[in-house]
Structure formats: structure tokens, C-alpha cells
Chains A and B, each alone.
Chain A
Amino acid sequence: MSDSQLLPTGQKKINHLEMIEISKFFPGVIANNRVNFDVKAGEVHALLGENGAGKSTLMKVLYGLYPPEEGAIKLDGEQVVIGSPVDSIGLGIGMIHQHFMLVESLTVAENVALGLASTRGPLTDLDIVSQRIQELSEIYGLQVDPKALIWQLSVGQQQRVEIIKALYRGAALLILDEPTAVLTPQEVDEFFLTMRKMMDDGHALIFISHKLHEVLDISHRISVLRDGHMIGTIPVEGATKEKLAEMMVGREIGLKKERVSNEKSEKKLILKNISAQSDRGTPALKGIDLEVYSGEILGVAGVSGNGQKELAEVITGLRNVTSGQVVLEDEDVTGLSPKELINRSLSYIPEERMRDGMIKEFTVAENLILREYDQLPFANNGFLNLKNISTHSDEMIKSFNVKTPSQETTVKSLSGGNIQKLVLARELFRKPRTLIAAQPTRGLDIGAMEYVHLRLLEQREEGTATILISEDLDEILALSDRIAVIFEGEIMGIIDREEATTERLGLMMAGVVE
């Protein structure tokens, strides 16, 4: 760590930031209960906790998005008032949000320049901004094209934009709320290089993640929140996954379920020579052939953006094919509407749960019946049966352990992980005969992740044909019977679980043909 009081960006360091006895209430929820937390220059302080424990809330208080009910914030020993992001940015605090805060229709440079004074007065100075972006990219290894439109970028690239945005504003303290949840393993490695560089320069970093091995890898200290309470802060030396998990959940977890061998029987879903286009009109799928048997989990591994999204959408009726055939249960279903496919017992866990999985303004109960709102027992002759709907959502909330004040709460005020649990509850409850699961455990805490794995394996034993799309090779290897690797819209090969290794899959994911 360098001794200068300045960072390479020219900004003053934040030597010590303390949050003291912070409380934050929401209707029906105590999200933070007299929480103490601090971070120092040159360290990574990890914040752990189950879904809904209050991590994002605590960080939003620090960034000035929520006013706390009580408590104080001290910066280098002096009390500061942070009433809005203007204040926190002014103090050198930056935040990378769990759900990105980017304007999709604007360019990278425009997103960075937004809200900043321009050197040309009222006129934009995007050329100068772009230059500075290039400089920052070089210092921290964050390659990104300033002229690209946000919606054209991959998730990993969008994240780089978020980091550059914060650094550009002179952030000396960076809050990273689940930055790695959306990254591929390679991207995580690159991201850690950036984090290490910032740490060495004297940035103070707060790191939130559900992946314990990452936390153990990069942090100096680790704090654990549970139900809004600070359970404790420990140095990374001597910390183990088991210890952290126990601190998080308050008990030992061990839901692990072994994959039992299963007779695979009839072919449920067949894709014949499927081609389709991406949103941008470029070819996304190029002649895909796949077969999934009932009682089987077919893993689709690959770096995201190689056609996984389009593949899932083609099968679920959300995207038209340009050629090829989808056969479900011996019937050609190419071009059928999502509703008709739902009626054929097809379920879909979408990757973009906030956009495709839930209606944010609807309540928990309403979201839970989005698929079968018009069928018994939820509706009869066009009338909703509110009593059944209510009983049903209580059951779902309980069995999936969703943290929500009530079933009348709108989904937008739930924590990220709990929203994912709701999607899973809705899709798995009906015991689908065919299931498309895209990144089903992204953003889930370890307990919830094990639970989802358990449910997917249970479905498999009951004969469901599952396509599991995931970037997480551990997940793929733990659950799949066969593994297909997708690269640039083509299947590079399909191998049995027994023959698959991380290395072999890694090579195939990079486009190396066997």
C-alpha cells in the first residue's frame, strides 16, 4: 500500500469510515438494527448475509439513498451527514449497485458524464470525457469503448462502466454490491485484478458476495449480517466457509443431496437445427440440435452472451426461429405462444428475473399466480378465488423461505435474492414436465442455492426434463447428466457428466472443438 495521502486518480484517500449504530426500518421490516460497520483505506471489507439480511440497505444508507432512522457516519473521525448521493459522491464514496444504474439508450461516455460539470459550460464535452475514460481504463485494466451504447454491452462490460463511473467521480471508497454475481469465472478473475489494484493504491473497498470462496480469497475482514443484526466481524485469517455459513444462517447447513442415477426414458424435448436472431438482428443461434429426456438434467455451459438467452426464449415461445423445429412431447410446437406452451406443462426460470420473471409493481401473491391466474384453483369462470390465492402464496413463502413482510408487499421492495426465490417458487410449484432454468441460483445465498439444487434434483427424479443454463461450472457439474457447451450460437459438443472436467469444459467454452 502506498503511503501518499492521494490516490492515482488524484483524489484524497478515505482513511477510515465508520457507520455507528445504524438503524433502518421499512414498513413491517427492520432492515438494519443498530449496525456498526467500518472500512479502512487499502482494505477489502466483505459483507455477508442471507438474502434479505439487510446488506444492500446498509450500503444504500451509506450512499445517501435511504435516510437512517438512527445512527451516525464518521469519516476520518469527523461526523458527516449524507442526505443524498450528491453528498456521498462529494465525500468520495462510490457505489456499484446490485442492479446496475445505467441509462441503456445512452453511450458509455454519456453515462459517465451524466450529472457532471462540463469543461464547455452548457455544452457536453464527451470527447474529453472519453479521453479520461481511456486513462482510467488503462490504470485499472477496465477495457471499454466510450462510444458504445450501454445496451450493446455484455454484463461484464457494463460493470466496468459502473466502476469507471465511480472512479471518474473521484471515489476513494467503493461499495461493490454483489459485483461478481453476474460475471463469468474469467471476468471474476479480471475483476479481482482491478480490485487488488485499487486496494494497493489505497482505496477502501466494501465487497458483498454470496460466494464464500471469493470472499475468503480477496477480503481482509469479513462481517456478517443476519436479520438486520450485525453478528460479528472477523479477520480473514482463520475464517472458513463452514464458520461463515454458520454465522450467516445461525446453524450448520448441509442440505447436500446426491445425484442418484436415474433411468432416462422417453425424449421430451427435441430441437432440430434451430436458428434464431438476437435482438440486434444478428444470428444468435446457428443450427442447434439438442434432445432432452425425461428424468434428465441437460446442462448448457457457456460464457453468457453466446446464445443462451435466445435458446431459452426460442423454447419458451418468446422468440421466433428463423429455421428449425421445436418438438415437445412428440408434437411440433414451433411458433406456439408462451401460453400454449405453459399449458403443455413447460416452465421457465428466466435469467433476467427483474425484467422477464416478475411484475415489479404487483404483489407477491399476484406474481405467484402469473402462470395459472386463469385456472383452478386460482380462478373459476373468470373470477379470482382470492382465498385460494392467499393460501397458496402463504405456502410458497413458507416452503421457499421467502423473506417478505407480507404477501401483499409489492415485489419491487424485496431483496434481490428473495425475488429469485419467488420466481423459483412459481415455476417449480406446478411440477413441470419440462423446465428451462437459466442461471437459477444467481444472487442466491448458499442456503437458498442448496435448496434450489435439491428441488431441481427432486424434479429430475419425478421425471421432469430439465435444461439447466448456467455459467457456474460447479453448478453444472453438480446437477447435470449430460453437458452441452454452447459457443457463438453453436453446440461445441455434448459430453456425459462422468467424462466432464472443468478443464475440458473450459476449453470447449472458449470455442475449442473436440
Chain B
Amino acid sequence: MIEKFFTEAVLVGIIASGIRLATPYLYASIGETFGQRSGVLNLGVEGQMLLGAFAAFYVSLTTGNLWFGLLAAMLTGLIMGLGMAFVSINLQAVQGISGIGFYLFGLGLSDLLFQKLMGTVVTVSGFRPIYFPVLSDLPIVGQIFFNHNILVYGAYAMVFVAWFVLNKTTLGLKIKAVGESPEAADSLGVSVSKIRYLTISFGGMMSGIAGASLSIALLNVFQQNMTSGLGFIAVALVYFGGWRPIAVMGGALLFSMVNSLQLWVQVLNIPIPSDFAVMMPYVLTIIALVVTVQRVRPPSALTKPFERGH
């Protein structure tokens, strides 16, 4: 039984779809990494993703242009991000709670719009895998690395962009300083609120793309609550990765590999109860969080609103 399961083709399939499935996690958690590095916890990622997923799907469906869809998702996420920034920076709200508010808002609104504008589940033909001459035809390697759509590659590219921005640029320096010691940054004339606005709205935009990657690149449908907790996992992955983009990517890959394995287990009808299989990635997340989170220190000012002179 097991021997039949782990054939070469199946293994390649598991790895390839693991790489692909990491896409939405990567966009969302890299965006969230920026927010948290600057000291703001955005728990509304899931809501931003849902609205992004809907916007991308609906605009793609009506205009027939996937790029317009992607743009719509980015804008939607950006607006949601600006809202979150306003609430947590100008109104100094408790970030955990307001994030949940944004999640519920996104959940409700995306469903409402779906009911009103579409009514039934339809599909679009999403982004297709890019064909790389020669490379895509290579055995094994071709299927694993050179057979994905543009949003998958974009996600991995963003990981390195994030690493670069955080470690090599003056902006990254400001982001880290604002998240560690906003008083110190402020006393040097760095605008704490400007930086936080920037990271939170960028994070929103990334969540929007994460949603789009589901609805017009991976699954190519829109359904009510189609993210089913994915946005919250993305937040957890940021902790898991210790607020470092490369490690966050490691977490996302681990998680989606297990997820992929679980899907193949179901596809191949292996006699493991499917509920149990579906549970695996989540159990893994909890274990991974417990093991890792104590190890790394979060940004000192995480979740703390900043006000000069206090």
C-alpha cells in the first residue's frame, strides 16, 4: 500500500503542488511581516484576502482580463489596509480586536457582494503556467520548478524583495526601529505613523494579492469564505518565521507541503480518515508555533500604539 503511494510521480506531484500552494501564504505573511516589524499586528488579513479574492474574481469575470482582476484585488487590499492603519494609528485602537473587526467585515461584505452580483459559483480560466523553453520539459525538475503561473513566482520573488528591503535599505532600518523603539525613532525625526501607514497598507495590498492568487490562479472560483482560516495561518507563520522573511518562507513551505501531502492522501484513497488528514497541517502549525515562538523575541513595540511623550 505505502510502497504504491510513494512512487516518483506522486512525490514530484506532492512537491510541485506544495510549492504552488504556498503562494497565498507567502503574499499574506510577507505583507504581515512588514506590519509586525513596524509594531502593528493586523489580524484582519483573512478579511482582506476574501475581499481581494472576490474583487479579482469578479473583475476578471466581467472584463475578461486577469490583470485587471489582480489590480482590483491590490486596490481592495490597499483600501482595507488603509482602514486598519487609520484605526490602529489615528484612533489607537486595540489591534487584536480591530483586526478581528476587519476580518468579519471582509467576510460579510465579500459574501454579500457574491450573492448580489453573482449568485452561483462559476469558474474563470485563471493564470496559466508559464512555459520555459527546455526547462519546463526537464524531467522532475521541470515539473517541480518550471511549471507554475506568474503569481507563484511573484510570491517567491516578494520574499527576497522583503529580505532586501528590511536588511539593505534605509526604509527597512526605519521599519525595524519603529517596531523596536518608536520613541527612539521619533526622537530622530522618523515619523512613526508614516512608516506604520506604509507597512499596513502594503500588507493590505499583499493580502489582496494573496486572495487573488486563490481565486484567479490556484482555484479559479470564488466561494463564500473560501480562505477558510488561511489568513490566520499566515499571521501564525510570521511568528513561526521569527519575523524574518526567509524563515517565514520556510514555514509557509513546510505547511503547504504537509497540506499537499494530505491532499494526495485523499486523492489516492489511502485509508486514513479524511478528517484526520485535513487536520494534519493545523496540528503541525500548533506544534511548530509552540516549539519556535519562545525562541525568538518579537518586535518590542508590537501591538503598542505610539503617542509622543508617553
User: Which of chain A's residues have a CB closer than 8 A to the CB of B238?
Assistant: none
User: Which of chain B's residues have a CB closer than 8 A to the CB of A413?
Assistant: 310
User: Which of chain B's residues have a CB closer than 8 A to the CB of A272?
Assistant: none
Interface string of B17-46 (1 = CB under 8 A from A): 000000000000000000000000000000
B291: Cβ under 8 A from any A Cβ = no
| Contact present for A165 and B188 (CB under 8 Å) | yes
Interface string of A70-108 (1 = CB under 8 A from B): 000000000000001110010000010100011111100
| Contact present for A124 and B170 (CB under 8 Å) | yes
Minimal beta-carbon separation of B60 from chain A (angstroms): 33
Given A101-B183, A412-B310: 20 more A-B contacts, CB < 8 Å = A66-B308, A85-B186, A86-B189, A95-B187, A101-B187, A102-B181, A103-B176, A103-B177, A103-B180, A103-B184, A104-B300, A106-B176, A106-B177, A114-B177, A114-B185, A114-B188, A114-B190, A115-B177, A123-B169, A169-B188
CA distance A102 to B184 in the complex (A): 6
Query: Which residue of A is nearest B172, CB measured?
Result: A124
Minimal beta-carbon separation of B15 from chain A (angstroms): 36
CB contacts under 8 Å to A, within B162-212, are: 168-174, 176-177, 180-181, 183-190
**A106 CB contact (under 8 Å) in B168, B180, B183, B310:** B180
| Contact present for B170 and A65 (CB under 8 Å) | no
| Contact present for A84 and B189 (CB under 8 Å) | yes
A118: Cβ under 8 A from any B Cβ = yes
Minimal beta-carbon separation of B161 from chain A (angstroms): 12
A110: Cβ under 8 A from any B Cβ = yes
Residue total for B at the interface (Cβ-Cβ under 8 A): 23
Spell out B's residues near A (CB within 8 Å). Answer: 168-174, 176-177, 180-181, 183-190, 300, 308-310
| Contact present for A115 and B176 (CB under 8 Å) | no
| Contact present for A113 and B189 (CB under 8 Å) | no
CA distance A114 to B190 in the complex (A): 8
**B181 CB contact (under 8 Å) in A84, A89, A101, A113:** A101
The 9 sampled A-B contact pairs (Cβ below 8 Å) are A66-B308, A106-B176, A114-B177, A114-B188, A115-B185, A116-B170, A118-B170, A122-B169, A124-B172
Query: Which residue of B is nearest A112, CB measured?
Result: B188
Query: Which residue of B is nearest A412, CB measured?
Result: B310
CA distance A69 to B212 in the complex (A): 51
User: Which of chain B's residues have a CB closer than 8 A to the CB of A110?
Assistant: 173
Q: Which of the listed residues B170, B177, B186, B309 has the most CB atoms from chain A within 10 Å of its own CB?
A: B170
CB contacts under 8 Å to B, within A36-80, are: 60, 63, 65-66
Minimal beta-carbon separation of B227 from chain A (angstroms): 33
CB contacts under 8 Å to B, within A318-353, are: none
CB contacts under 8 Å to B, within A102-145, are: 102-106, 110-111, 113-118, 122-124
- Known contacts A65-B308, A104-B180, A106-B180; A85 and B170 CB within 8 A of each other: no
| Contact present for A114 and B174 (CB under 8 Å) | yes
User: Which of chain A's residues have a CB closer than 8 A to the CB of B168?
Assistant: 123-124
| Contact present for B180 and A115 (CB under 8 Å) | no
User: Which of chain A's residues have a CB closer than 8 A to the CB of B184?
Assistant: 101-103, 111, 114
User: Which of chain A's residues have a CB closer than 8 A to the CB of B176?
Assistant: 103, 105-106
| Contact present for B188 and A85 (CB under 8 Å) | yes
| Contact present for B310 and A114 (CB under 8 Å) | no
CA distance A63 to B308 in the complex (A): 12
Minimal beta-carbon separation of B56 from chain A (angstroms): 30
User: Which of chain A's residues have a CB closer than 8 A to the CB of B180?
Assistant: 103-106
User: Which of chain A's residues have a CB closer than 8 A to the CB of B172?
Assistant: 124
Minimal beta-carbon separation of A359 from chain B (angstroms): 14
User: Which of chain B's residues have a CB closer than 8 A to the CB of A102?
Assistant: 181, 184
User: Which of chain A's residues have a CB closer than 8 A to the CB of B185?
Assistant: 103, 114-115
Minimal beta-carbon separation of B303 from chain A (angstroms): 13
Minimal beta-carbon separation of B295 from chain A (angstroms): 14
Query: Which residue of B is nearest A99, CB measured?
Result: B183
- Known contacts A101-B184, A115-B185; A123 and B309 CB within 8 A of each other: no
The 9 closest A-B pairs by CB, nearest first: A86-B189, A101-B184, A115-B188, A115-B190, A101-B187, A103-B181, A103-B177, A103-B180, A85-B189
Minimal beta-carbon separation of A366 from chain B (angstroms): 17
User: Which of chain B's residues have a CB closer than 8 A to the CB of A65?
Assistant: 187, 308-309
Q: Which of the listed residues B169, B184, B186, B308 has the most CB atoms from chain A within 10 Å of its own CB?
A: B184
Interface string of A174-191 (1 = CB under 8 A from B): 000000000000000000
User: Which of chain A's residues have a CB closer than 8 A to the CB of B309?
Assistant: 60, 65-66
**B170 CB contact (under 8 Å) in A60, A113, A169, A412:** A113
Query: Which residue of B is nearest A60, CB measured?
Result: B309
Minimal beta-carbon separation of A444 from chain B (angstroms): 23
CA distance A106 to B185 in the complex (A): 12
Q: Which of the listed residues B169, B183, B186, B187 has the most CB atoms from chain A within 10 Å of its own CB?
A: B187
CA distance A60 to B310 in the complex (A): 12
Minimal beta-carbon separation of A113 from chain B (angstroms): 7
CA distance A86 to B190 in the complex (A): 8
Minimal beta-carbon separation of B20 from chain A (angstroms): 32
| Contact present for A115 and B308 (CB under 8 Å) | no
Minimal beta-carbon separation of B301 from chain A (angstroms): 10
| Contact present for B170 and A123 (CB under 8 Å) | yes
Query: Which residue of B is nearest A87, CB measured?
Result: B189
Minimal beta-carbon separation of B42 from chain A (angstroms): 22
User: Which of chain B's residues have a CB closer than 8 A to the CB of A86?
Assistant: 189
Minimal beta-carbon separation of B305 from chain A (angstroms): 12
Query: Which residue of A is nearest B190, CB measured?
Result: A115
| Contact present for B173 and A124 (CB under 8 Å) | yes
CA distance A60 to B169 in the complex (A): 30
CA distance A102 to B176 in the complex (A): 12
CA distance A33 to B185 in the complex (A): 29
CA distance A306 to B147 in the complex (A): 60
Interface string of A406-417 (1 = CB under 8 A from B): 000000110000
**B187 CB contact (under 8 Å) in A97, A105, A116:** A97
CA distance A110 to B180 in the complex (A): 13
Q: Which of the listed residues B173, B308, B309, B310 has the most CB atoms from chain A within 10 Å of its own CB?
A: B173
Query: Which residue of B is nearest A63, CB measured?
Result: B187
CA distance A95 to B176 in the complex (A): 22
Minimal beta-carbon separation of B215 from chain A (angstroms): 33
CA distance A12 to B177 in the complex (A): 29
| Contact present for A115 and B174 (CB under 8 Å) | yes
Minimal beta-carbon separation of B185 from chain A (angstroms): 7
Q: Which of the listed residues B171, B177, B185, B188 has the most CB atoms from chain A within 10 Å of its own CB?
A: B188
User: Which of chain B's residues have a CB closer than 8 A to the CB of A103?
Assistant: 176-177, 180-181, 184-185
Minimal beta-carbon separation of B4 from chain A (angstroms): 50
CA distance A45 to B154 in the complex (A): 59
CA distance A151 to B176 in the complex (A): 15
Minimal beta-carbon separation of A92 from chain B (angstroms): 13
User: Which of chain B's residues have a CB closer than 8 A to the CB of A104?
Assistant: 180-181, 300
CA distance A105 to B187 in the complex (A): 17
CA distance A124 to B177 in the complex (A): 14
| Contact present for B189 and A115 (CB under 8 Å) | yes
Minimal beta-carbon separation of B5 from chain A (angstroms): 45
CA distance A117 to B171 in the complex (A): 10
Query: Which residue of A is nearest B189, CB measured?
Result: A86
User: Which of chain B's residues have a CB closer than 8 A to the CB of A113?
Assistant: 170, 173
Minimal beta-carbon separation of A41 from chain B (angstroms): 23
CA distance A86 to B308 in the complex (A): 13
Q: Which of the listed residues A97, A118, A123, A413 has the most CB atoms from chain B within 10 Å of its own CB?
A: A123
CA distance A101 to B309 in the complex (A): 13
User: Which of chain A's residues have a CB closer than 8 A to the CB of B300?
Assistant: 104-105
